[in-house]
Amino acid sequence: MLYFIRKYPFSLVIILAVTYLSFFQPPSMDDEPLFQWPHLDKVVHCCMYFGMSGMLWLEFIRAHRRQQAPLWHAWIGAVACPVAFSGVVELLQSYCTTYRGGDWLDFAANSVGVMLATALALSYIRRTRKA
């Protein structure tokens, strides 16, 4: 556990923040014009999981700069785990809270955020390995 705290400190903070944001009861903002945009929450979901997966990729790349770790470790930690985490969060929101609801479109937006971060990280890895 200490290994992960040392190697992935910012990722752990982001995971805690996403967990908190996923389960706190937000105040009603129905009168605010900004919150009237359709599907704004999907953009927020995409950004949260882009940040989570992106930071996991960044810290993986930084932690394994000198020694080449198998890339499948990052695929599990920065892709599969955030997508699975997202699914569990949506199920918990649906079945364990009265003020939140699980939504398949939220899960899809979360997955899109993870895929965007992964595409960016892989293009960076390919570019730096060729140099």
Cα separation, 92 vs 83, whole angstroms: 14
The conformational region for residue 39 under phi > 0 = left, psi -120 to 50 = alpha, else beta, is left
Spans of all domains in the chain: 40-130
| Burial degree of 60 (CB within 10 A; 0-12, 13-18, 19+) | buried
* Amino acid 68: pLDDT: 76
* Amino acid 29: pLDDT: 64
Beta carbons within 8 Å of 4's beta carbon, 6+ residues apart: 12
pLDDT greater at residue 28 or residue 108:
108
pLDDT over 70 (residue 34): no
* Amino acid 15: pLDDT: 98
Of 109, 104, 123, 124, nearest to 49 (Cα)?
A: 109
- Where do the H-state alpha helices sit in 29-103? 40-63, 71-75, 81-96
Report DSSP state, residue 25: -
pLDDT over 60 (residue 131): no
* Amino acid 96: pLDDT: 94
pLDDT over 80 (residue 28): no
Tens digit of pLDDT for each residue in 58-94? 999 998 887 777 889 999 999 999 999 999 999 999 9
State the residue for tokens 């810290």.
59
